[in-house]
Structures are given as C-alpha cells and as structure tokens.
Amino acid sequence: MFAIILGTRPEIIKMSPIIRECESRSIPYFTIHTGQHYSYEMDRIFFSDLELPEPGYNLDAGSGLHGEQTAKILSGVEKILLDKKPDVVLVQGDTNTVMAGALAAAKLHIPVAHVEAGLRSFDRRMPEEINRIIADHISEFLFAPTETARKYLKREGIPDEKIHVTGNTVVDAVFQDLEIAQKKREISPGLEGLEKGNYIVVTAHRAENVDVKEHLQGILEGLEGVHNETGMQVVFPVHPRTEKMMREFGLTAEGVRFVKPVGYLEFLRLEAGARLVLTDSGGLQEEACILGVPCVTLRENTERPETIDAGSNVLAGTSTTTIIEKSRMMLTKKPDWKNPFGDGHAGKYMVDILVENGLS
C-alpha cells in the first residue's frame, strides 16, 4: 500500500498524476493532507476541480513557526503510519510537509520515495533547500526529474541504485490539468478582454522579495517599465502576502492590472495564453517551460537550472533595470526549446518502479 503525503497546492498538483495512476491500476493507497498552507476545507474545491478523490486523512497543521509546524506534521503523520503500516511513503518537493513526512516514515523504517529529488538552489538560507536535502538523504527511492538532479545527488554521495531519472510529474499534471481547464469557461474579474499572446503574467510571493521594500519596489518599477516599453497588459494576480506588503510600503505600479488570486485551473489557462511570465515561483518556471512561454525569474538563483539551460528562462533578480532588460530579451525568444522535464509519463514510471520493487 502507498501512503501519499501532501500539504500544499503545488504538492497536490504534482502528486495528482501518481494518484490518477494508482486509481487507474487499482493500486491500494491512501492520502494524508497535512493542511500546511490551507485547511482541507479550503482545499476541498481544489481536489474536486482536479477530479481527484478526497484525502483519507486531514491533519490541519496550519501555518506557524517552522519548528512548530514541522512538529505537528511529524506527530500527526507518525500516528497514521503506525496505524496503517504502508509499504512505502511518497512525498513531493521541498516543504515542511516533505521533511516531516519523510522523517516520520524513516524513523518507522518505512521506505520513502521522494518525488522531484535532487533539486538544489545551493542557498541554505532558503528553508526549502534544507527540507529537500534532508528528504533526499533519508529516502530509498529518489525520483530525479533530470540528469542534472541525478548529478547533484551523486555528488552528495547518494548511491546510484537509489536514483531514478523519471522526468517530472509537473509535465503530466500540466497536460492533464490543462485539458480539464479548457472545459471550464468562467473568467475572474479583471481578466476580461485579454488577447492570447499579447499580455504578460506576473506572480511574486517569496518573503525575500516582498518583505523587503527595496526588492518589492524594484519589481514593481520593473513591471511598470516593461508595460511602458511594450504596451502589453501586465496581469498580476496578487498573493495576499504581497498585497499586504504593498499596502504597508505604500507601493504600486502604473499600467499593471492587479487582480485577486485566481484558481489553479484558471491560472493555467492564463499562463498558457501569455506572451511572457515573470515570477519568483519555482513551479511556474517549469510550467512556463512546458507550455512554451518565455519566463523571467525574479530571483538571483534557481533550483530549476534546466530551464536556464533550455533557454526558456533567465534570472533577473529584483533590479528594475535588469527586469526590463531581461523581459525585452525574452520577448524576442522563439519557444523552440526542448522541454527538459520528461515526456509526460513520470507518474507511470514512478509507480512502475515501486511495483517492481514489491511495494504495492
């Protein structure tokens, strides 16, 4: 039996191909929703929209200090694993849910399968970097999305036989979920009248960007400059954290269409129709690459270097001048790069490997 642990919406998205694979093959599994970002009640519609079964367990860990949140998840997951005794525990990515779920399983001598193993930003100031390193070093199955990720894992001394290059489930999810999204036609307020291929989409939410006035100001002035130079609509679904800090700092940007956050499926449609994406999100760097949309990353580093190598993405940091310069460059880019994250069957390959090892 598989135990699938997730706690954030990106984890739900990237675990969804594995859940669908288990469903289609009648492989026994159960899902633990830790509620790291949202309670299950808030995520219920998300599972429904993605046409996924409801989780079997909900921990409602909630937000809080890293230690407090991690402890709640560790304790809650441990009790369930002791009761259910799964053959393998699957975690995805780099959140506190991943680290706590992997640790709970490892201490109970249950094999851990880390989906999206081997990503590195080489910046240990980021809590995500600590989480992904710990998860990788206590996992038995490391599902690396690319050869670059495999290289990083081998460099850290992880035995080659534990590493499996499968591609990334985000590719599976983008194509599966875009198909679901195209069936839905509702348009959120502020998104009316956008012409496919003639607008720019922005997201920014990382603390190092939005909690520092100079960084947030640099981003906003960069967006204003990009709008003035291109004349394109710049659409910015504003994360609550970003909105709060803009208000506190008294910042805004002319020519930018600030809108309320939209649901995942609508955002996927929005992203697929954009001419350019500017973001500080790791997941959106991947999605843009897969969808053939050029990306400018509002960070100084990335744990998705494959997007840089492919030519779909560049780093700009938070400098106004650099954001404008890199946006100008990427707007001339033809989307003729090769997607480095696999063929859209990563979920199947991962399940195959676990089944072949007698863990179903």
The set of residues, in sequence order, having a beta carbon less than 8 Å from that of 172 and lying 6+ positions away, is: 17, 344, 345, 346, 347
Residue 26 has what pLDDT? 97
The class of domain 2-168+343-356 in CATH terms is: alpha beta
State which fold the 189-331 domain adopts: Rossmann fold (3.40.50)
Q: What percent of the chain has pLDDT over 90?
A: 84
Catalytic sites, residue numbers: 205
Q: Residues 6 or more apart from 165 whose CB is under 8 A from it?
A: 144, 145, 146, 147, 149, 150
pLDDT band at 40 (very low <50, low <70, confident <90, very high): confident
Question: What would the pLDDT profile of 269-283 be if each residue is shown by its tens digit?
Answer: 999 999 999 999 988
For residue 63, is pLDDT > 90? no
pLDDT given at position 257? 96
User: What percent of the chain is modeled with pLDDT above 70?
Assistant: 99
Note the pLDDT of residue 356. 97
Domain locations in the chain?
A: 2-168+343-356, 189-331
The answer to whether residue 312 scores a pLDDT higher than 90 is yes
Query: What would the pLDDT profile of 188-199 be if each residue is shown by its tens digit?
Result: 888 888 999 999
A 10 A CB-CB count for 44 gives 15
Is 128:207 a contact under the CB 8 Å cutoff?
A: no
Task: State pLDDT tens for residues 216-230.
Answer: 999 999 999 999 999
| pLDDT tens by residue, 127-151 | 899 999 999 999 999 999 999 999 9
